[in-house]
């Protein structure tokens, strides 16, 4: 069975204002950098729970990447095209 590890690529790259997220490890690191207030918001809770589900069941990786993209967008952290 395929297992996700820290260097497993996300379904697609997420370009943020200060960094680019390409792997599971990048996402986990970003979660660790969130403030307690950010972690309490619904969109970040969903993103973290979905990534946790993907780690347990790899077929959820696309959903986890999309919810992470949504959380980044709602937080104003996603790089917007010019």
Domains in the chain: boundaries: 9-74
Is a pLDDT exceeding 80 seen at residue 10? yes
Indicate the helix (H) or strand (E) that contains 30. Answer: helix 24-33
Q: What is the pLDDT of residue 4?
A: 81
Q: Which residue has the tokens 């680019």?
A: 20
Express each pLDDT in 45-72 by its tens digit. 999 999 999 999 999 999 999 999 999 9
pTM, whole model, 2 decimals?
0.92
**The predicted structure's pLDDT at residue 82:** 53
């Amino acid at each position: 069975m395929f297992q996700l590890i820290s260097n497993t690529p996300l379904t697609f790259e997420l370009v943020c204002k200060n960094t680019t997220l390409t792997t599971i490890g990048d996402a986990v690191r970003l979660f660790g950098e969130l403030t307690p207030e950010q972690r309490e918001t619904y969109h970040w809770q969903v993103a973290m729970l979905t990534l946790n589900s993907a780690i347990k069941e790899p077929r959820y990786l696309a959903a986890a990447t999309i919810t992470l993209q949504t959380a980044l967008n709602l937080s104003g952290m996603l790089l917007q095209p010019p």
